[in-house]
Amino acid sequence: MSEWQGLVTKNQNGYYSVRTERAEYLCKVRGKMKQDNNRVLVGDWVRIAAIDSDRAVITEICPRHNRLLRPPVANLDQALLVTSVASPPMNPLLLDRLIMMCILNRISPILWFSKMDLQTPQSDKELAVYKSLPYRIYTSDNSDKEENQQTLAAIREQLQGKVTTVCGQSGVGKSTLLNAIAGREWCPVQSVSQRIGRGKNTTRHAVIGEIYPSCYVADTPGFASLDYLPPRKEEIASGFHEIAARQDKCRFHDCTHRHEPQCAVKNAVDAQEIAAPRYQSYVTLVAEWEEREKERFR
């Protein structure tokens, strides 16, 4: 019996699709694992024992580096956060929230700015803030320009051997980007008018597709809820690396970096070492968190 390692890409009522280097297998879980209550998740890297050319048994789950609950998916490596510089206009608060969500879930954020053909002085200023952050950042105008081809080659390399999810508000160009990466029609691109009134089913399970050889993209409905807030208030600061890096120097160990004296974070904002819009997002998210907490006890 041959043993392989593969990626679980789909779960259909206890039958798992597992993608190995050589083939895709339809798998059941070995009985003993079920007794141990060891549930296999989409995104798990597993060992399988082949039964024939397309059926196998999952014998072991490799250690996970993270796991999301809604939808249940394991081992997301990175998230491609797509933002259009215009149409819809750039939303820095949303982008900062998504970056925070990635960091708190140990997922590397990759920033993709689309519709550069529509850039304005205002969007250039907003973009400059993100260029100063320590994340990979790509820009594109989705034309045939040589530059865009190079960017696509770079992003394909970045996706190699990893499982990536794609987030961003409606209309920013996620499907357009995925089709460009795939080099074929991978998912439908809808005009704005087509998008209106579309019923959305958010309770679907996560599914992973191989968009380009060895580039796995996870469709994780509901993960990137656009109003995400972490369970604990202190975690918000952890999602802003430039705040997290300085908060040990604040006078109060429980400083919220808003009205407290001798706050290293506010000092850094005044000295323009922290970009004001990023700090503004942080303050807004903390206020939102407090508001949500108040609602809970009302």
Ligand X SMILES: Nc1nc2c(ncn2[C@@H]2O[C@H](COP(=O)(O)OP(=O)(O)OP(=O)(O)O)[C@@H](O)[C@H]2O)c(=O)[nH]1
Candidates 37-45, 88-96, 187-195, 262-270: pick the segment binding ligand X (CB under 6 A). 187-195
Q: How far apart are CA 22 and CA 236, in angstroms?
A: 43
Q: Which pair of tokens denotes residue 256?
A: 């919220």
Find all residues with CB under 8 Å of 21, minimum gap 6, and list them: 4, 6
Candidates 96-104, 171-179, 228-236, 269-277: pick the segment binding ligand X (CB under 6 A). 171-179
Q: How far apart are CA 44 and CA 7, in angstroms?
A: 6
Instruction: Identify what 257 binds: Zn ion, Mg ion, ligand X, none; CB under 5 to 8 Å per kind.
Output: Zn ion
**Least Å from the CB of residue 86 to ligand X:** 8
147 sits near ligand X (criterion: CB under 6 A): no
User: Among residues 254, 154, 169, 259, which one has the least CA distance to residue 212?
Assistant: 154
Instruction: Identify what 255 binds: Zn ion, Mg ion, ligand X, none; CB under 5 to 8 Å per kind.
Output: Zn ion
**Least Å from the CB of residue 180 to ligand X:** 9
Q: Which of 13, 37, 53, 191 binds ligand X (CB under 6 A)?
A: 191
Find all residues with CB under 8 Å of 184, minimum gap 6, and list them: none
Element (H, E) at 127: helix 121-131
202 sits near ligand X (criterion: CB under 6 A): no
Q: Which of 20, 108, 175, 267 binds Mg ion (CB under 5 A)?
A: 175
250 sits near Zn ion (criterion: CB under 5 A): yes
Q: Which of positions 14-53 make contact with Mg ion (CB under 5 A)?
A: none
**Residue 120: C-alpha distances to residues 3, 84, 86, 148, 252 (Å):** 55, 12, 8, 19, 41
Question: What are 108's strand-pairing partners?
Answer: 78
Nearer to ligand X, 27 or 178 (CB): 178
Return residues touching ligand X (CB under 6 A). 114-115, 117-118, 140-142, 168, 170-176, 189-191, 195
Return residues touching Mg ion (CB under 5 A). 174-175
